[in-house]
Amino acid sequence: MIETERLILRMVKPRDRAALWDQCRDPAVMQYLLPVVDEAALDAMIARMHASQAEHGFAFWIVERRTDGALLGICGLKPGAPDTPIEGALEIGWRFSQAYWGQGYAREAAQATLDWAWAHLAAPQVVAITVPGNTASWGLMERLGMHRVVDGDFDHPLVADGSPLKRHIQYRIDRP
């Protein structure tokens, strides 16, 4: 679907399920994300990916390394969550297995996703959210040219009160 020098971004396939489940069970990978508590929740996540692609023409896609077909993570787009300040906005996000951190894969995939969005969608901007402690993620947002929305912090309605994941910060990039 999207190809870069080192990566292929494509829809999830049945063969990807085991690698995705391994990611979901890795505490370091999921440290700043809502937990995927069991395999039924994983199946629901995969179903949402397919539904988003069918309805909107985009989703969180599998990131596969071209040289060996390794599943590195996911990266893509989705509509911003209901009852949040980004509701209806075009949201970019990513998640990679630990073995692939620090090698530029997330940036390559995210930049390719942004380039795809500007070429195929009419969105005036793309947003991203994370928790304040996820410095790696918001650092990538800044390297992509995204800017912090100073008055855009919010408590995520899908996160339990008292959770360290409740507060979210927002980044945005305008269409070039």
Question: What pLDDT digit, counting tens, does each position of 19-45 carry?
Answer: 999 999 999 999 999 888 899 999 999
Own/partner contacts of 149-157, CB < 8 Å, gap of 24 or more, are: 152/85, 154/84, 154/85, 156/81, 156/84, 156/129, 157/81, 157/83, 157/84
pLDDT at 35: 86
Torsion of CA 27, 33, 36, 41, to 10 degrees: -170
User: In this model, does residue 109 exceed pLDDT 90?
Assistant: yes
The neighbouring-strand residues paired with 155 are 167
User: In this model, does residue 48 exceed pLDDT 90?
Assistant: yes
Give residue 1's pLDDT band: very low, low, confident or very high (50, 70, 90): confident
Read off φ and ψ for residue 93, nearest 5 degrees. Answer: -155, 170
pLDDT at 65: 98
Distances 89 to 25, 118, 123, 128 between C-alpha atoms, Å: 29, 14, 8, 10
